[in-house]
Amino acid sequence: MDSRTQLGKSLAFCCIFLMIGISANAAKRHNKALTPAVAAPVSATAGYDKLDVAYSQFSAEFYSGLAHSGRQIGYKSIESLDAAVQDLLRQDQSVNAVATIVHNSKLLSQHIDNPKIISIITVLLNQNELATATKLHKQIKEDSGKALQANVAYLFAHYYFLRNSWDKTLASLEGITGDLPQAKYHHALLMQGIALQKLKQHRAALVLYEKIPATSPYYLSARVNMAVADIRQDWWTDAHIIINNLLANPRIRQQYDEADRLYTILGYSFLQQSYYRDARNAFRSVGIKGPSTNQALLGIALAAANQEDYIGALNGVRILKQNQALDLPVDEAYLLMPYFYERLHQHSTASAGYSEAMQYYENRINAINSAKQLPTADFIKKLSFMTDGTLSLQFNIIDVSDKVPPAFIANFHLLQQLQPFVAGSDSAKQQQHFNQLQASYQQALHEVVNSALNERIAFLTDYMNQSRYGIARLLDKNETAQK
């Protein structure tokens, strides 16, 4: 493996432990559907939709009050307003930037056909100030040209896309893609394709992906989604051709996080088809300090074990056990190591390893249960938000992308930006409204993470039971040998 640091998100796919029999649960986890690089895989539930609406309602009230507080500046041109807004954003004053926009709403309405409106609405939607953005959008649809209408509709499509609102995403993009600049057009095709895939319209999605050229920054994501669609339909050869063509491109290989993701997908695909040498070669191409590293190490161990190279398999899981970040590949390593020693007929070492694994899983389960018992506010304080979108709690890596849309986490952070402004407000009603909204988001996040932790406990319990079974199996072998 190359030594390099990458950003991105690791993907587990198609790791079926046929020979090792590690557990049905683990197999299901590794067969989890691949995630498009720009969207969460599961539609937002009604509960998260309601929270988003509640946030938008509070936002409208909050910014209306802040805009009329007497602290905002009025501008005489859209250009000067946009320059001031961009300057505030560079100073990390996004709340004041939005308040400035709302304060100058009349100016915006008077010059609704100005192209600078696009950057203004971008700021509003990024901060979830939907009320002001919607008013401007309505006026643009009535009074502006097709190009401006298309660009603003594209912004709203992305807004809904981040909320996993696939129907609204498609509706926003309907009939406008031909009027978009090239980069936005390609992104719109990708969003449409992903939305269609989520709505089970795979063939229509593939047609759109094909329209994205190799020169586009969205080409890689489109091709990966095409490969995923092929794999899901057991069209392995077609998927491998797509992935290998991507990896043959020097520009893509230099995007280390994406290249590692591709090698990981390819490796597990080979592993499922029993092409163990090819699988090991793919996994060895993954960097040693990237988000896909642990999955690749686990893949190497499994491929080696299927080749009866248990020494090579042990090397992979030994490195995993040294990892401080606790994800499922690390957890699985504790069960796999004694199993590999058992296959090498080193029964005493295997027995000690199973005992160590049982203690490890028991400690892990107890630690997670203790964390779960914390009050919501204390629980939230212990969460760390990682750069790749995952969460961490006491070194437990938690992926909630299949449970909440990206906008849910974004709103949670936006509330933190609003908090000091609300704290300084003279409005007791506003403070009460904010406190209720923030408590609702904290409670929802607590429940989401708890759900993920419960799944982790289920895996750990299964592994602990298998460790116990491993010891019993070894005792049975010893008793049989002594007879």
Give every CB contact of residue 165 below 8 A, 6+ residues apart in sequence. 43, 44, 49
Residue 83 counted as domain residue: yes
Residue 459 counted as domain residue: no
Confidence of residue 26 (pLDDT cuts 50, 70, 90): very low
| 389 φψ region: left (φ > 0), alpha (ψ -120 to 50), beta (else) | left
Residue 322 counted as domain residue: no
Shortest CA distance to 409 belongs to which of 445, 357, 457, 358?
445
Given a cut of 90, whether residue 68 has pLDDT beyond it is no
Order of strands, sheet of 396-398, starting from the edge strand that comes earlier in the sequence: 383-385, 391-393, 396-398
The model's pLDDT over 282-325, given as tens digits with 9 standing for 90+, comes to 999 999 888 899 999 999 999 999 999 999 999 999 999 998 77
Residue 430 counted as domain residue: no
Number of structural domains the chain divides into = 1
Residue 72 counted as domain residue: yes
Backbone angles phi, psi at 427, to 5 degrees: -90, 110
Residue 312 counted as domain residue: no
The model's pLDDT over 183-194, given as tens digits with 9 standing for 90+, comes to 999 999 999 999
Residue 443 pLDDT: 94
Task: Give the mean pLDDT of 11-25.
Answer: 31
The model's pLDDT over 117-131, given as tens digits with 9 standing for 90+, comes to 999 999 999 999 999
The model's pLDDT over 241-259, given as tens digits with 9 standing for 90+, comes to 999 999 999 888 888 889 9
Residue 42 pLDDT: 38
Residue 36 pLDDT: 35
The model's pLDDT over 168-185, given as tens digits with 9 standing for 90+, comes to 999 999 999 889 999 999
**CA 71 vs CA 61, 65, 66, 96, 164: distances in Å:** 17, 11, 8, 10, 37
Task: Quote the domain boundaries for residue 129.
Answer: 46-143
The model's pLDDT over 327-356, given as tens digits with 9 standing for 90+, comes to 899 999 999 999 999 999 999 999 999 999
Residue 23 counted as domain residue: no
Given a cut of 50, whether residue 390 has pLDDT beyond it is yes
Average pLDDT over the chain, rounded to an integer: 87
Task: Give the mean pLDDT of 217-233.
Answer: 90
Taking CB atoms within 8 Å and a gap of at least 24, the contacts of 117-122 are 117/78, 117/148, 117/152, 118/148, 118/151, 118/152, 118/155, 119/82, 119/85, 119/86, 120/78, 120/81, 120/82, 120/85, 121/152, 121/155, 122/155
Question: Using only C-alpha atoms, what is the Rg of the chain?
Answer: 26
Residue 27 counted as domain residue: no
